[in-house]
Amino acid sequence: GAAAPAAAGAVGALCAASRHARGAVFQHGAEALFYLALVATAFNPLPLLFHGRGRLAAPCAAAAWVVLALALPLVGDPMVAFEAAWRAMTGRFTLLQISVFGSALLHVSLTMILNIFPILVQNLPQLQRFKIQQDKAPANVSAWYHCFVHIFASQCLVQLPLITGQYFFIAYFSIPYDYDSIPGVWAILWRLALALVIDDTWVYFGHRALHDKRIYKYVHKVHHTYTSPFAPDAEYEHPVETVVLGVGFFLACMVLTNHLFFVWAWLYMRLLVTYDSHSGYDLPLNLLQLIPCYNGAREHDWHHQFFNGNYAPTFVWWDRLFGTSLAFDRFERQRRSREAAAAGAAMERRGDEWYARSGAARPGAEAGAVAAAP
């Protein structure tokens, strides 16, 4: 007699917990999705789950979203910690220190963070089938070390003086940098989208000019040291190239900056795109591929391999408009045709092996034998 009320109580408690969980997911689902997308831009675990046709990817992503939505009420909103950190920064440091040395420290930190996932990808055997140039081995430790030394030297000796101009820009135009003036998400997102367009336009024409035979060997050849690019190769370039192509970044800042936070968000976005295009891997479930007309790793890898065409850093429209992607388009059609033929041949071999093991007659074999009989 006592078992029935106990069971009813357990069922009631389970239903209450289920309702609470659903309420937490509905209440914090949007926040959880935002934080998942933000983290996934730098470390996207979905390609690691890509087995067969990627059947594990969607369930794992959904499970991570639900778990994070349930965890947010328990651990607290990360924006609270972000607000405290920003207010502490602005209360302790001057605008000069924040805009110059803070920006430089952020750049160094992002360089290290954005190279964690590429190192993991390069060392996971199951992801090597996604390497674009299959005939070339992944970059060795010496190449990574060489690029890192060059990058950090460039950040100290070339980019730090350039960033100093950012301080005068912010101070002259009284651009806010306090926490209360940080724009909302949508205000940042549309500015980032337009910044990519501005930078893409400048870099397309500047990059194409650097391929001029009269100056290529003096400047841009440094960036083409590695014909099979890997992540840190994104920032491996001649100081002159850093200045010339960096104009696109600062042009976007001059036109669109309404807060220091935008400059830092724009720095992250620009590094994110250039590291992806230099990764050397065409990974499945890449969130950046959701960007319309995105010029990804496969396009830029071809540029490093053949040195000609695909000059734009982010979008494909300038290359298509001026015909500088025609050779790449032909190359891609031929590659896909070869892959389709190889896949068909492999499928036929597997069929032959199955019929040989099972002893079953192939479809049409009997009809063929009858037709061949006298």
Instruction: Report d(CA 275, CA 160) in Å as an integer.
Output: 20
* Distances, alpha carbon 74 to alpha carbons 38, 67, 141, 164, 346, in Å: 20, 11, 42, 42, 51
Cβ neighbours for 158, distance < 8 A, ≥ 6 positions apart: 239, 242, 243
For residue 55, give every residue at least 6 positions away whose Cβ sits within 8 Å of its Cβ, in sequence order, or none.
none
Q: Tokens 């003086």 appear where?
A: 161
* CB proximity list for 285: less than 8 A, separation 6 or greater: 44, 46, 47, 50, 54, 57
Q: What are phi and psi of 360, to 5 degrees?
A: -75, 155
Instruction: Name beta bridge partners: 315.
Output: 294
The residue behind tokens 């060489």 is 146
- Could you give the residue ranges of the DSSP H alpha helices within 93-159? 95-96, 103-113, 116-122, 141-154
Mean pLDDT across the stretch 128-155? Answer: 94
| Radius of gyration of the CA atoms of the chain, in A | 27
**Taking 50 as the threshold, does the pLDDT of residue 370 lie above it?**
no
Alpha-carbon distance of 183 to 180, in angstroms, equals: 9
**Model pLDDT, residue 251:** 96
pLDDT tens profile 223-233: 999 999 999 99
Q: Which amino acid is at 132?
A: I
- The total of other beta-carbon atoms located within 10 Å of residue 297's CB is 22
For 294, the 3-state DSSP assignment is: strand
Q: How large is the average pLDDT for residues 162-175? A: 93
pLDDT band at residue 17 using 50, 70 and 90 as cut-offs: very low
Cβ within 8 Å of residue 89, ≥6 positions away: 98, 102
pTM of the model: 0.83
| From 88-97, 165-174, 307-316, 355-364, the region with the lowest mean pLDDT | 355-364
- Determine the distance from the C-alpha atom of residue 265 to the mean position of all C-alpha atoms in its chain, rounded to a whole number: 14
Q: Where residue 47 falls among pLDDT bands split at 50, 70, 90?
A: confident
More confident residue, 44 or 244: 244
Average model confidence (pLDDT) across the chain: 85
What pLDDT is recorded for position 143? Answer: 95
Q: Does residue 11 have a pLDDT over 60?
A: no
Asked if 256 contacts 262 with a C-beta cutoff of 8 angstroms, the reply is yes
- Residue-wise pLDDT tens digits, 170-224: 999 999 999 999 999 899 999 999 999 999 999 999 999 999 999 999 999 999 9
Matching residue, tokens 């070390």? 145
Model confidence at 374, pLDDT cuts 50, 70, 90, reads: low
Burial (CB < 10 A; 0-12, 13-18, 19+), residue 7, is exposed
17-21, 65-69, 305-309: lowest mean pLDDT where?
17-21
Give the separation between CA 23 and CA 70, rounded to whole angstroms. Answer: 9
Percentage of residues in the chain with pLDDT exceeding 70? 81
